[in-house]
Every structure is written in C-alpha cells, then in structure tokens.
A = this chain, B = another copy of it.
C-alpha cells in the first residue's frame, strides 16, 4: 500500500445517493472499500448510458482526475464505504513517490481496457452476447475480490440499470434473461447470478478475460 498518504478518512454513502454529479468540477477520486457503485453519463433527453460498474477494490473517478470536464456522475448502488483520494497535491506526490504515479497510470490503463471491451460489446455483439459477457465479467471480478465463486455471485443490480449499461431496453433485457434461463445457461434472480453451464457460456460466447488482471487497484496502491 504505497498510496496511504493519498487516502482520506472513510466516508459512508447510502444506496442510491450520488457521490459525484456530472456538472460539479470538483475532481475527486475514491477508493471503493465496500459495496457497489456505477458511473453514467446523462443525455439531454433524459436517457443515460452507464459507463461502468464498480465493486470493492475498484477506483472511482480516476478517469476525470486531471480533466477540466468531469462530465460523469457516480452513484452508489448499495450502501457504500469509500475513501477519498486527495488530488490537490498530486504533483507533489508524484515528485516524492514516483511509484504512485506508475500505479495510478496502471490503474487508469486497466480501467480503459475494460472500457474498450465494453465498447466492442456495444458495437459488435447482439443483446444476448452483451448480457452474457457483462455478467461473466462481473462474476470474474467479484471472484477476484472474494465476492463470488465460479458458480455465481451476488449482484445487486436492477435489470433496468444493467440494461442501461448494455445499451438495450429493460424489456428486451428481460426477454434475453428469460431465454438464458430457459436454455439452462444462467439465472439472474433476486440479486443473485447463477452460472448453470459456465463452460458452455464461455465457449458459446468466445470469451476472453485476459484483460482482467489478478491484482486489484487497491492492492497495487
């Protein structure tokens, strides 16, 4: 834990509350200690696209740390515990602790790799592929931080939030989930994802999770 000096005190945020709002240009980043959160971008017509979904160990808001326009909101999906990363004297820290700089750069890069994968999903995969990919990825990440097993994981996401992340309507997502359930591939019910036939899911959807590294950002830092 190289980054101790950057971290502020624990902060608790209730489920549903916004940690960061689109318009505010106070740039703060957080380490997510427990719970789930998501970040999204709103469109003027009231729609929103969810950018990514984070769980314990992930960094929140690094993306817009250095940018003038922090145009994303971050919302707690469950009750959440975070620690603020003070960014005021980032250049001081970089000077005195170059390894922190490296770790931060690495964290941002990994974040971006996931974004790219998400982009490919939205661009080239159909609704079922996207859904399976997303759920398997979340499962793999949950497993890495000890929140899941190869058989499944607890997933506190509503269908409409998942749909907003996948770029499809909640209604269509529901249909897709039904098909997956009826084909005995996976079940998503009561906030619990169960992979019935994981092998088949992976080969059917040609998944590759090499971009998920075994280290979490928090461990690195």
Contact = CB atoms under 8 A, between A and B. Distances in A.
Interface of A: 41, 43-45, 47-49, 51, 62-69, 71-72, 90-91, 94-95, 98-99, 101-102, 104-106, 108-113, 115-116, 118-120, 122-124, 166-167, 206, 210-211, 213
Dominant SS at the A interface?
helix
A6 to B, nearest CB: 14
A112 B113 contact: no
A101 B109 contact: no
A44 B206 CA distance: 8
Nearest to A120: B49
A94 B95 CA distance: 8
A111 B116 CA distance: 11
Nearest to A41: B120
Given A63-B116, A90-B102, 19 more contacts: A43-B120, A43-B124, A44-B206, A47-B124, A51-B116, A51-B120, A64-B113, A67-B106, A71-B210, A71-B211, A91-B102, A94-B98, A94-B101, A94-B102, A95-B98, A105-B105, A108-B109, A115-B119, A119-B122
28 contacts: A41-B116, A43-B206, A48-B124, A49-B124, A63-B109, A63-B113, A64-B109, A66-B106, A66-B109, A67-B109, A67-B213, A69-B113, A69-B211, A71-B113, A71-B210, A91-B99, A94-B98, A94-B101, A95-B98, A98-B98, A101-B101, A101-B102, A104-B105, A108-B112, A112-B115, A115-B115, A119-B122, A122-B123
Q: Which of A47, A109, A213 has the most CB of B within 10 A?
A: A109
Given A71-B210, A124-B49, A167-B122, A116 B115 contact: yes
Q: Which 8 A-B pairs have the closest CB atoms?
A: A123-B167, A101-B101, A122-B122, A94-B98, A49-B123, A95-B98, A49-B120, A69-B210
Contacts of A41: 116, 120
Nearest to A213: B68
Contact of A101 (B65, B105, B122, B206): B105
